[in-house]
Amino acid sequence: MHRLNNKRILLGITGGIAAYKSAELVRHIRKAGADVHVVMTPAACEFITPLTLQALSGNPVHTTMLDPKAEAGMGHIELARWADVVLIAPASADFIARMAAGMGNDLLSTICLATKAPIYLAPAMNQGMWLDSATQKNCTTVMERGIKLFGPDEGYQACGDIGPGRMLDPDVILGCLVKYLESGLLAGKKVVITAGPTKEAIDPVRYISNHSSGKMGFALASAAAEAGATVTLIAGPVHLPTPDRVARVNVVTARDMHAAALEHTEGCDLFIGCAAVSDYRPESIAEAKIKKDPNNPEQALELKLVRNPDVLASVAAKDDRPFMVGFAAETHQVIEYAQNKLKHKNLDLIVANDVSDTTIGFNSDENAVTLVGPDFEEPLPKCSKWQLAGQLIDLIARYYNDIQQSSVQVQTQVQPSVTTEYSTDENTDHAPENPHS
Ligand code: PMT
């Protein structure tokens, strides 16, 4: 099952005999649909060769920070930004200590400092080293920063000891990862998302449209499915594969999208309008191709355009209106216009997207937005649309759940605890946290 579809996993491998299990882990992660870049510490390269990991991951393996060639390609900051998740398996006692101290003395530790992605550690070491109070304190320190620990397991160790410190089996690590990436914040909710452009025919061969690629909306659909929602994606004409566990409805025109949105929002809990819907369409569509007059190079073509229905406003006007989230693509006075749309379209939240910057917004792989509510603005800095979608769904879902429960704001602070993911402690809080809060 592709439960990590489109996820970008940066797998860090540190020095320890369990490094041989990382090869299997890479296979599991790829099988789950994710893209993997492996970063190895020098000590890790003593236990397993980068070539093995390169062959299994299908990507170059990163081993050093001071390689000008590597930095010119995908340097440590690019890797830190690229990752949706940083998973370090095995995480040695030394590496955990360096993380606790905030050191950045090799490629992997600098990535950990620079990344905004959640970080998960699968510790692996001798049982005495694991139980040592210094290691325990270091684990507590990193966990207080929101870093999660998967394991360690107990049992026979390569050194002959028996006790805690074994790295979890690769399939168990994968299960932990999937569990965290699938937050469950929208479990049981029905979510409808619009994405992509619409096309408005002028004649049988010409149309009016825009530059929307659908990437942002498709990433949102995937993130909502990962958060446990049943997702219907109403997609304009784009060439993107349907995200895993998402039901897709293809449409072409704004009126098609309008009809599909009204039909599929029966019993819908949350609606997100990310599509770039054509505001206008030609009043009539010519039945045959409109021909130019070869003798008149100055000939102008006049098109009368009429307004299309507003998909978002129509869904928001329904009696059984879902929680409504719109987008506002603006080139200037971005927040002000977004706030106006929030009110005029009767929305709960709006995502303000400054599309004057051509490196974000339409048809780019990255985006930067501000989530605007009735009384708050939350800027989300530039990152991949997949990463941003995860952040947006997380924030939207928390806000939505707060409204539903009419309770105090969801507590996202990490509770200091030495209880690790693999613990059987029933009280462990598995709600996803902002790792950098
Ligand atoms: O698809 P990508 O290439 O990944 O690009 C993403 C994006 C730039 C398209 C996306 O991030 C975005 O900003 N989407 C909104 C685009 C837009 O048309 O914005 P708007 O400000 O014109 O419309 C405001 C809101 O009303 C939007 O939620 C839009 O979906 C909705 N709308 C607009 C017109 C209309 N007739 N019906 C609508 O529902």
Which of 6, 255, 265, 277 most suits a substitution to test ligand 1, by most atoms within 8 Å of the C-beta? 277
Q: What is the mean pLDDT of the chain?
A: 89
The domain defined by 190-284+302-412 carries CATH number 1.10.3720.10: no
Instruction: Please check whether the two domains, 8-181 and 190-284+302-412, share a CATH topology.
Output: yes
Ligand 1, residue 307: give the atom nearest the CA: 36
pLDDT (mean) for 408-422: 41
pLDDT in tens, 141-173: 999 888 989 999 988 888 888 889 999 999 999
**Rounded to an integer, what distance in angstroms lies between the CA atom of residue 404 and that of residue 406?**
5
Q: How far is CA 289 from CA 90, 204, 283, 411, in A?
A: 64, 6, 16, 60
Does pLDDT of 304 surpass 90?
Answer: yes
The answer to whether the CB of 385 falls within 8 A of the CB of 216 is yes
pTM: 0.66
Q: Which atom of ligand 1 is nearest to the CA of 350?
A: 28
* pLDDT tens track for 350-360: 999 999 999 99
246 alpha carbon to ligand 1 midpoint, in Å?
A: 20
Q: Which atom of ligand 1 is nearest to the CA of 364?
A: 3
User: Do the Cβ atoms of 267 and 188 come closer than 8 Å?
Assistant: no
Q: By three-state DSSP, how is residue 302 classified?
A: coil
pLDDT at 77: 86
Long-range contacts at 94-103 (CB < 8 A, ≥ 24 apart) = 94/14, 94/15, 94/43, 95/12, 95/14, 95/15, 95/41, 96/121, 96/123, 96/135, 96/138, 96/139, 96/142, 97/134, 97/135, 97/138, 99/138, 99/142, 99/147, 100/137, 100/138, 100/139, 100/141, 100/142
Does the structural domain 8-181 have CATH classification 3.40.50.1950? yes
- Using the predicted structure, report yes or no on whether residue 410 has a pLDDT greater than 50: no
> Which of 264, 274, 333 has the most ligand 1 atoms within 8 A of CB, as the residue to mutate?
274
For 29, the enclosing helix (H) or strand (E) is helix 19-31
Give the distance (Å) from ligand 1 centre to CA of residue 175: 36
R_g of the chain computed on alpha carbons: 25
Chain centre distance of CA 356? 23
CA pair distance 431, 415, nearest whole angstrom: 11
List helix spans (H) across 184-227: 215-226
- Burial environment of residue 126 by CB neighbours within 10 A (0 to 12, 13 to 18, 19 or more): buried
Evaluate whether 59 touches 38 at the Cβ level (below 8 Å). Answer: yes
Quick one: pLDDT band at residue 33, thresholds 50, 70, 90? confident
Q: Is the pLDDT of residue 50 over 60?
A: yes
Say how many Å lie between the first and final Cα of the chain, rounded.
Answer: 32
Pure H helices in 125-282: 127-131, 133-144, 170-181, 215-226, 254-264
Name the residue ranges covered by the structural domains of the chain: 8-181, 190-284+302-412
How far does the centroid of ligand 1 lie from the alpha carbon of residue 351, in Å? Answer: 10
Q: Two tokens at 102?
A: 């905030």
What pLDDT shows up at residue 163? Answer: 87
**Pocket, ligand 1, Cβ cutoff 6 A:** 194, 196, 212-217, 254, 273-277, 279, 308, 310-312, 326-329, 341, 353, 355, 361-363
The answer to whether residues 120 and 148 touch, using CB atoms and an 8 Å cutoff, is yes
pLDDT at 323: 97
For residue 165, CA distances in Å to 122, 139, 383 come to 10, 13, 35
Measured on CA atoms in the order 401, 404, 405, 410, is the torsion positive or negative? positive
Residues labelled as active-site residues = 159
